[in-house]
Every structure is written in C-alpha cells, then in structure tokens.
Chain A
Amino acid sequence: MLSRTADHLFWMARYTERAENTARMLDANYQLSLLPQSDEYAELGWRAMLSISELSGIYSAAHHGMKSRDVIDFMARDLSNPSSIVSCLRAARENARAVRSSTNSELWESLNTTWLDCQRMLADGILEREPYTFFEWVKFRSHLSRGVQLGTLVKDDAFYFMRLGTFIERADNTARILDVKFEMMEQRADTSAQPFDYHHWVAVLGSVSGFEVYRRVYRDVITPERVAGLLILYRDWPRSLAASIAEVEQLIGQVTKGRDTEATRLAAQLSAELKNGRIGDILKGGLHAYLVDFLARVNDLAGRVSREFLLPIAQEPPAQTQSQTQTQSQGQTQSQGKE
C-alpha cells in the first residue's frame, strides 16, 4: 500500500484513540471534582492532567486559574488545542477522508458521522448541561469505529497500520493517565495526608474501564501498587501497557513480513521487559521514572515506524517539534479549467 496511505491510517487511529482517552481522563477528573473537597485539590487534578498531556503552556497562555469549566472547555472543544477531543475527532476524520478509498465506506461514514454529530452536540450546549454524556458518547464512538475495523476490514497492511496507531497511542495514553497522580504530588508543596487517595485510584481505574477488572483479579482492597501492576503488567487486559506493546510487537511483525528492522528490535525488547517485569521491581526505581522512560521509548518506537514505513517520501520530513502530533503536508490548490 502507499506509504502516505499508511501514514493517514496510522494517524487516523491514533487520533481516534486519543479522543477516547482524553474523554476518559476528563470524565475521571470531572467525577473527582464533584467530591466534597477543597478547591485547591480539585485544581491540582486539572493542573496535573494538563501537565501530563504537555498542554499546560497552551492552556495558561489563554486562561487564568484552573476552573473545571475552563479546563473541560479547553480539553473538549477548543480547536487551538491540538489534543482536544474536537481537534482529535476532526483530525481522525480528515485523515480518513484523505484515504477513504483505501478502507471501506462504513469506517469512513462512522468517523464522518462522529465529526458531524460532535459539532452539533457541542453547539447544542451538551458540555454545559451534561459533560459526562458527551464523554461517554466519545468513548462509544471510538468503540464503534474499532468495531467497524474488526468486523468489516480485510486483514491487510491498511488494517495493521491502523491497529498499530491504536496501540501505540493507547500505550502512551495509559502511561500518562497512571502518571497523573505523581504529577499531583509533585505540584503540591504539602505531601502529608492525602485523604482522597482511594477516590483518586478508583477514578484512575474507572477512566480505563479497569475497576471491575481490578476487583476480579485481586478480590481485595484498592492499593496504588496493585493499580500500577494492573495497568502496566496485566497482559490479558487490552488497555494495559503490556497488552498494548504485545500488540505493537505483533503488528510490526505483520508489516515487516519477517524483515529485521530497528522497529522490530525495539518492540520485541520492550514487550519482553513487560512480559517478565514485576511490579515490585518497577516501583523500587520509582513509578514516575519508569513511566517517563516508558513514554520516551514508545515515542522512539513510533518514530521508527514512521521513518521505516510511513515517510519514505523523497523530500525530508520537516523537523518535528512534538513527536506525538502529525506533520501536515501542504496542499497546493489547483484551479481547474473545464471539468
């Protein structure tokens, strides 16, 4: 398949997954902000979320303070924020449009309808009235597009690059969700009693659909160590880092067709570490340090995939400032004569 097509499919899937995870993260923080607690603590949650998403800069350029209303607006409907839900859904749709002939009409129509309905819902004031309904809708639209992929597409390179985008983005996002708590403690001078720990970890679990999984796996009270263990190492659960990276490893094998590449090696190494890792060892070196290293390696892997498969285009790709957003090719407009 065309390298450019693979690139669009890869980013289409990444943006769809990112919209879903942003909605999940917003939902968790929104639920937390409803608990009886100090405003300071609620603000801390929002601040940590922005920081972990590397968006504090853009946010504070246009806003004062950390009001729930403002942060939700910024993360859900602000087009100047490239990772807002609306930006992600638009980017997913535009990428799908660029390659609508390479997938099938059902996938395109599901992403197009999501985009059209999203504009309508936001204009109707759903974020003001019932933000949780909107977050849940975003999550279910993502389920739908994944369902269309699995239920209707031929298993060819188009499918593999799409799935690759999904799991690279999910590994990245899940690691960030887990790291929010660390950011909160970092940003707080007083690290003494944290009475909302329980609720925080429940919210984290909820945001990755992990609460029920946790209960079934551990049949015990909630502790940060176990939450980290579940999100990082539990291979049988599709939102964990281990499961996401295992998928990435396998998908890279599909698209390289047995060729040995740097991407194959990086993925195999990371996957083996997660397979054989123990939560005790990981926590010994510090969870935050572990996650920072993990994110760097996932980004490196994504970069390798891009260089090896997606951008063998003659001109040098423009230097990327932020490794996790797509580089846009400049379209030349053509004035056609007779058509």
Chain B
Amino acid sequence: MGMRRREFAAAYLFLAPFLVTLGIFFLFATARAVYFSFTNYDLFNAPTWVGLRNYAELFRDDLFLTALRNSLVFAAVVTTVQTFGALVMAAVLNQRIRGLDFFRAAFYMPSITSSVVITLIFLWMYQRRGLFNYLGTQFLAYLPLLGVFLLAVALLQAAQVLYERSRRLPARWGDPALLVVSLLVAAGITWALVFYGVIAPREVRPVDFVWLQTRREVPGAFPGFLRAPVPLLAIMLQNVFTTIPTFMLMFLAALQDVPAAHYEAASLDGATPVQQFFYITIPAVQPVTFLVVTLGLIGTLQMFDQVAIFGNAVPLKSVITLAYFVYNRMFPGAQLPEVGFASAAAMFLAALTLVIVLLQRLFIRSEGRR
C-alpha cells in the first residue's frame, strides 16, 4: 500500500510544474472569463452581474454576425483545401524521385518562416501593382499563344494515339511517351507561328484586381452567408500556403507506414495512380486525416494574427474573425474595454469550436477501417 502511495506521490510531483501552470493560466483564467461573460466588467469598475445580456447582445451586433460568417467560411474552405493539398503533396513526396530531400526541405520552408514576415510579403504581392496582378496581366497577354499551344498538343496527341491504336497497339490518351513528342512538336509549331508573325502576344490592359482595399464578396450569385469577402480570400490563400507543409509532414509520416506491396498489387491489377490514391492512400491514412482535420478546424477558427497584421490595409468588416472580434472589443476606440462582452464572444468561440470538432467526428472516424 505504502509503495503504491509513494508511486502516486512521485507521479504527481513530476506532473506538478505542468499542473500548476495549467491551473493558473488555463483553469483559473477560463473560470474568470466565464464569470466575466455574465457581467459588465470593464477592467476598472467592479463587475456587476447582468445574466445572459452579453450573449443576447452578441446576436444583435452586426459586426459579430459578420465575424461569425467570416470565421465559418474561413474554417470550412481552409480546412478542406489544406487537408487535401497536404495529402496530395505528401503522396507526391512519398515517391522515390530524384532530389527528394531538396523538395521535402523546400516544401516545408513556408511553415518554418515567421507568419508575420509571410504576411508582409503577401501584402506586397496583393498590391494593385503587385505580383498577382502582374502574373494575371502576363497570362492574358499570352493567352492566344497558350491557346494555340494547348490546341496543338491535343490534336497531336489524339493523332498519335489513334495512329497507334490503328496499328492495334495499346495506347492510353495520356501516354507519357507520346505526350513528350506532342509537347515538343507543339512548342515548335507555336514558336514558328510567332516567328512568322501569324500570332503575337496581345496588348491587354493591366489587370487591376483589388485584392485588399475592397468590400466585394464572391461569388456574387450566392446568398450573403455563403459568400467570402475578397480580402478574406487573400488571407485564405496565404494561410493555406503556410499550413499545408506542416500537415504534409504528418501525412508523410503516415504514408511511410503503408506497405508498398499494396501499391504493387494494385498496379498489377491495372489501377491508375489516381485510383491508387483514392482507394489505397486515403483509407490508409484515415486516422491522420482525422487529426489533421481536427487541428485544422481548431487553428482556422482561432485565426487572429494574419487579420491583425493585415490591419488597416483591408476593411475590417471584410476580414474580421471571431478571435479578432474578441480583441477588438477588448480594446475599442477610445472607451473603456468591454471585457464582459468580449468574454461572452470568447466563450461562444470556444463552444462553437467544440461543437464543430465533435460534429466532424461523425464524418471522419479516428480509427481506420481494418
């Protein structure tokens, strides 16, 4: 008995540093915030109990409803795109190709770069005379050349495949060997047409798409609560860019455990790489998918830093998320902090996160089918 008790004591002794910090900075802080959310506390005057008034007011506040819509759209889009993107990238990097280590390191770079620095760089690229609009302009200018090139590739490929089949040889539409020939010949044809002046890059007006300083929402045909403001879209793009590599690493670890024999057997049975991806890779990494989606949802629902750094470059209403709303009400203009109201918003965010994560458990099981 004494032995057991001593073991318990030792265990708690080792846990103590963690339990103390958890108790002070998490349990105590949360309990206080819960209490404040039912009061009109402003940091300077003693709090008075107001019951559920703060919560009721949340839903009468336009800015809060906008923040809620933005957060939900952001979480849904970013979690979906980043999970799928990370899985595809992991599958690619799981191949035995030349220079694999380089690609693994290069693809991971965005995740270890400071989010502040990346946000500042993206802010420049989103300017009206920035990189994205420049690339858009170039694309439009060279569109005729691109069109001719793609048309030539398609025609050449079709001609070759039909010729092979007429000789009763097996040839798929995307046959790589034939495709190489098609690409080279098509490039030659395009170059010749440009050289003889048959086609030329177009004179186009520079793309003047406003990424940041706009209140436009897309897609315009959707009802309001399903639309995403353009500046929020810009943040989504940047967020996906930085989070994909981290999740890619998790998928990569899971993929290393998938026996190569499965893929060999599948390819012997004639499964294409795409079929292998959907029927072997995705089921095999199901537990990791659960983890990635859970972490992704929690991370995206709490997104704060990128909104804060975009700051005055974008209209607040277009990018405000729930986490930023809490901060915004904590330090409003030139008046006392609305601690009670902000705490209520924070509690709502916590509850919302919990519910969404529980809901997604219904759709993605944490254990793979065995």
Is B truly associated with A? no
Chain B residues engaging chain A, CB cutoff 8 angstroms: none
Chain A residues engaging chain B, CB cutoff 8 angstroms: none
